[in-house]
Chains A and B, each alone.
Chain A
């Protein structure tokens, strides 16, 4: 199985901050990397697919980059509704696997 490692596991930040979450795959996954946001009690929501494509309706402050094994999710200016847990997911091979999550908290 491909292991996905996110860092940091948790992050404290303030409204307006720029934050970056990283995701590393244990082997190359080309650009088959997706990012999801999950708020408590809710289903995950797709933010970014294929490493850098913004899902329809997702604010442009979210962006993704990377290829191969190293990927990043950047939020350019945090808004109150962005405090949530973020997961990366590789869809390069089965079983598809998720990172362990990064919990973004208000400082």
Chain B
């Protein structure tokens, strides 16, 4: 069974750093990109970007470029989303999702359960 299991909720202060994780199981982790999606409280979905776990190649949305970093450790089948200096506006639910691509398809078939990040002084 394909599963993406994310790390637990976090409460941080502005300026602190944070790394959240997304562990994939039940499939070949390096064969599928992982995308990250933000959902601010009461709002819609925003694509942050994606990482290819096979070589850690990344694409970032311009809206998030420079503020977050994606990484992956294929030895432990885990992708990461990292901040070096959090802002209150980073308060949101963050989802990882498995990307299906090829044959004129590009969509997310499995999603993690989400990690709630709260940034407050």
Contacts and interface: CB of A to CB of B under 8 A. Distances in A.
Does B bind A? yes
Interface of A: 30-32, 34, 36, 38, 43-46, 49-50, 53, 55, 87, 89, 91-92, 94-101
A92 B104 CA distance: 9
Contacts, number: 64
Contacts of A55: 109
Interface residues of B, number: 24
A43 B45 contact: no
Main secondary structure of the interface of A (DSSP, over half): loop
Query: Which of A31, A50, A99, A100 has the largest count of B CB atoms less than 10 A from its CB?
Result: A50
A97 B47 contact: yes
Contacts of B61: 94-96
Interface stretch (B7-15, B69-77, B110-118): B110-118
A89 B46 CA distance: 10
B109 to A, nearest CB: 5
Interface in B86-100: 95, 97, 100
